[in-house]
Structure 1
Amino acid sequence: MATGVLKTRGDKVVGTDGKPVILRGAALGGWMNMENFITGYPGHESEHHASMIKVLGKEKHDFFFDKFYEYFFTEADAEFFASKGLNCLRLPMNYRHFEDDMNPRVLKNDGAGFKHVDRVVNLCAKHGIYTILDLHALPGGQNPDWHADNVTNYAAFWDHKDFQDRVCWLWRIIAARYKDNPWVAGYNPINEPADSEHWRLPAFYTRIEKEIRSIDPDHILWLDGNTFAMEWKHFDEHILPNSVYALHDYSMMGF
């Protein structure tokens, strides 16, 4: 069973009993943030959805993707994951499940985007698996690439305060929903940011930390480094409490 909401103590993650908890796991890539190199479709996720709506109509599109999200991860997957000795699953999410660009700061479909997140969080908890909630695609694009569902290849998130305000709004909603769940190992506010000015990312982390902590003072924040989670300029002035700073090491892939 979970030992209460996880926290950091020095360089360790601990339960409320003070004992270290070592998290071993993976990410559920290609699920609620579809990536073309994982799922095999061309282009970006939002383009894929738009094309399917045009061809199939919204009703059939919605039915297809509801089943896609359901069958992508089932209880059998949670059982298999746990059987390998793994105890943590990172859940990448696209903001478009929760908010529409043409209707910002309004929870989409009365929060229907949380249906499968809740389901997977609960399935994982049943099998002793923690989850980390990862906002993988942000309004405006936190980096220029496909995995941020960024069709413009311009990371506009860093140049427009309104995009940043919307992310703060969404994280307050997410934090309110999961603040009492001990099987949620924490929140990953931005996946692989790419701030070309370097100082804006740590400044935004200082802001988002306050926004999340106003709702949930307890869960760990998992904070990616800049330039696709690979560098740390200007971070020395913005070290935040109860946080883990994440490095994504792609050296084996040659970049």
Structure 2
Amino acid sequence: MLTRPLTTLALGLSLTMAMPASALAAAAHLSVRGQEIVDPNGQPILLRGWNWGHWGKTQASDAADNAAQGANTVRIPLRWWGQYDGKNIDSRDDNATTTAGIDPAHLKHLDDMVHWASAAKLWIVLFIDSDCGQSGTQNEKERQYCDPRGEYAKGGHNFWTDRAARQKFIAVWRFIANRYKDTPYIGLFEPLPEPNPAGVPDDQIKAFYAEVMGAIREVAPGVPLLIGGRAYKAPAIRQVYDPAWKDVVYTGNLFLHAKQHGADEASLNELRERSKRLLELRAEHQVPVFVQQVGVRSGEDPDRHGVKAVLSNLVANRIGFAYWEYRGAVNPNEYGVMYQRGNEWVPKRDWIDTITPFFKQ
């Protein structure tokens, strides 16, 4: 399952190898200053854009299109060790020793996405996702994949119950951080979304982040980091706050879970309460916050009243965000402003026209 033979696919040059020395010398990072994320010129910047969330669906034209829509950021994944919907999404390959356990074909695709975004001057939020690592117990199918021999009957394999898997993950991050650290428009490294290990105290989630971030800092000093609390629930954000971390941006999911007949006021109020937890942390501890996933299913918000209210709230409170998502599923009622119908990608023009003006406010 996790030990696919190393293929003969070309790895491709890393971005840092392919770029001229002048481009590398010009590469500069975002940084953290009090409540603000600031650009390389020291000016506050609000990151707003899309998630390229579905692995393998991004196209070369997306970055330029997103920039033309007003986006200045994009959140890009690498899926490593998990039972994901769809084929050939898990990039873990323990035989790929020269690429730290990342399937070479997957790494080439990640190189492409990073290159497209960088060329379009989109600040990149790069995350490594691991459904097995974050919990291993989301459902029976996940448990069978992550822990096929039942070695961890109560908790399943994850980065807290399996120290060896944790170290492999840290090695993956060292490789990735070193590979992209000098790429122009590398914005934030996001170590692990939605940590939710069963039976593990909250302080151990924080300790995990401390270990992973320490490894990233060793190879890529100067790149800020993005973290959130258990399951990335906004009220859990205080679990991972540490005053010693001066290079950290804090996050929480803000999905609008609308009612049967659309985004009613009760749903919106519940989401506003969650967003307050982010604002409270920002004000109390003078740290920046960024919503790495905000969105609503199209079928639950037919008149787009809900998405307008949600994004208006973020803009009014000066919170950056990455909308979930750009290219989505095959169902037009799901997340995503483009959906797949056979071999054709169909844009939801009303949704694109509703969301993109908020990038520019």
Task: Normalising by structure 1, report the TM-score.
Answer: 0.72
Asked if the contact 2:96/2:102 (under 8 Å) is kept, the reply is: no
1:145 paired residue among 118, 127, 138: 138
- Out of 135, 141, 158, the position equivalent to 2:128 is 135
Stretch moving more, 115-124 or 237-246:
237-246
CA distance in 2, matches of 1:101, 1:26: 31
Q: Say which one has the larger Rg.
A: 2
2:225 aligns with 221
Moved more, 211-220 or 108-117: 108-117
Give the structure 2 partner of residue 168 of structure 1.
170
Counterpart among 187, 201, 206 of residue 202 in structure 1: 206
- Deviation of 1:227 (Å): 2.6
Distance 1:192 1:236, change over 3 A: closer
Q: CA deviation at 1:210?
A: 1.1
SS of equivalent to 1:185: strand
- Report the secondary structure of 1:132's partner residue: strand
Rounded to whole Å, the distance in 2 between the matches of 1:210 and 1:168 is: 10
Q: TM-score, normalised by structure 2?
A: 0.53
Paired letter, 1:90:
R
Structure 2 gaps of 5+ residues are 1-22, 82-89, 147-154, 259-266, 271-361
Map of 1:73 onto structure 2: 58
Deviation, structure 1 residue 175 = 0.8
Return closer, same or farther for 1:237/1:124 CA change in 2, 3 Å cut-off. Answer: closer
Asked if structure 1 preserves the Cα contact closer than 8 Å seen for 2:132 and 2:157, the reply is no
The unaligned stretches of length 5 or more in structure 1 are 32-68
Question: Per the alignment, do residues 5 and 236 of structure 1 end up closer, same or farther by CA in structure 2, a change over 3 Å counting?
Answer: closer
Distance 1:167 1:229 in 2: 23
Higher helix share: 1
Q: Which residue of 1 aligns with 2:30?
A: 6
Q: Name the aligned partner's letter for residue 137 of structure 1.
A: S
State the Cα distance separating 1:252 from its structure 2 match: 3.3
Kindly indicate whether the alpha-carbon contact (under 8 Å) linking 1:142 and 1:156 is maintained by their aligned counterparts in 2: yes
Matches within 5 A, 1:1-255: 4-31=28-55, 69=56, 72-96=57-81, 98-100=91-93, 107-108=100-101, 111-137=104-130, 140-142=133-135, 144-145=137-138, 151=145, 154=156, 156-196=158-198, 197-230=201-234, 231-232=236-237, 234-237=239-242, 239-253=244-258
AA aligned opposite 1:195: P
Distance 1:74 1:195, change over 3 A: same
Shift of the alpha carbon at 1:200? 1.1
Q: Distance in 2 between matches of 1:14 and 1:6?
A: 6
Cα distance, 1:105–1:20 mapped onto 2, change above 3 Å? same
- Mapped to 1, the partners of 2:157 and 2:95 lie a distance apart of 19
Q: Identify if the C-alpha distance between structure 1 residues 122 and 206 changes in structure 2 by more than 3 Å, giving closer, same or farther.
A: same
Using the TM superposition, give the Cα deviation of residue 249 of structure 1 relative to its aligned residue in structure 2, in angstroms: 1.8
**How many equivalent pairs are there?**
215
* Separation in 2, partners of 1:176, 1:94: 18
Tell me how far 1:241 sits from its aligned partner.
Answer: 2.0
Separation (CA, whole Å) in 2 of partners of 1:194 and 1:118: 29
Q: Contact 2:28–2:184 at 8 Å: present in 1 too?
A: yes
Task: Specify the SS of the correspondent of 2:237.
Answer: coil
Structure 1 distance, partners of 2:29, 2:188, is 9
Q: Distance in 2 between matches of 1:173 and 1:104?
A: 11
Paired residues of 2:189 and 2:224 also in contact (CA < 8 A): yes
Structure 1 residues 193-202 or 209-218, which shifts more? 193-202
* Separation of aligned partners in 1, 2:98 and 2:163: 14
Residues of 2 paired with 1:159 and 1:108: CA distance?
A: 20
Matches of 1:27 and 1:132, distance apart in 2: 9
The letter of the residue matching 1:178 is Y
User: 3-state SS of the aligned residue for 1:75?
Assistant: coil
CA distance in 2, matches of 1:236, 1:140: 21
Paired with 1:115 and 1:103, the residues of 2 have a C-alpha distance of: 13
- Superposition deviation, residue 161 in structure 1: 1.4
> Distance between the aligned counterparts of 1:149 and 1:118, measured in 2?
28
Sequence identity (%): 25
Compared with structure 1, are the counterparts of its residues 23 and 159 closer, same or farther at alpha carbon in structure 2 (3 Å cutoff)? same
